[in-house]
Amino acid sequence: MTPKPDYRTIVVGTDGSALATPTVWRAASLAAHNEADLVIVCAYGDLSRRDEARNVATLGGDTRVGLVTGRAAAGTALDTAVSLAGQAGATVAAALLVDGDPATALLATARERSADLLVVGALRDTGIAERLLGTVATEVVRRADCEVLIVRPRA
């Protein structure tokens, strides 16, 4: 019989989207079950109006998948995730606002905290731009030093 994983530190990303709720809930439930510390990360940033227009004109949509625009919105997303984690019975060891790229923020936090598990959400159907540029989940899976759990929305 294979022993179950013994997670001590779990890192999860949130962006305040509809997908963030099941992602944070899954990470928090695992943290509570394993009596592990939960670290919640919300990456944020701002694009100039010129960069925003270029992204929309060139790619037909927002390429900042997982990136919350502005510190205030990121703070709200983070507060919501902390509340949800508490409802799931998890111990939130840290709730971090990180100015920068979501994948980089998650990977750096996982390394700094010696995480055993990194939890991210992923959409079922991605557009051509995301396939060409990569998503947060894709980058995390490629570069993580620990186990990665991908949470997908239910159909």
Indicate the domain borders of the chain. 9-151
Characterise 77 by phi-psi region: left (phi > 0), alpha (psi -120 to 50), beta (else). alpha
Q: What are phi and psi of 133, to 5 degrees?
A: -90, -20
The residues with which 42 forms a beta bridge, in sequence order, are 97
Q: What is the pLDDT of residues 24-44, one digit of tens each?
A: 999 999 999 999 999 999 999
CA torsion angle for 78, 83, 84, 90 (degrees, to 10)? 100
Q: What is the pLDDT of residues 64-79, one digit of tens each?
A: 456 788 889 999 999 9
Class level of CATH domain 9-151: alpha beta
Q: What is the pLDDT of residues 45-68, one digit of tens each?
A: 875 556 555 544 444 444 445 678
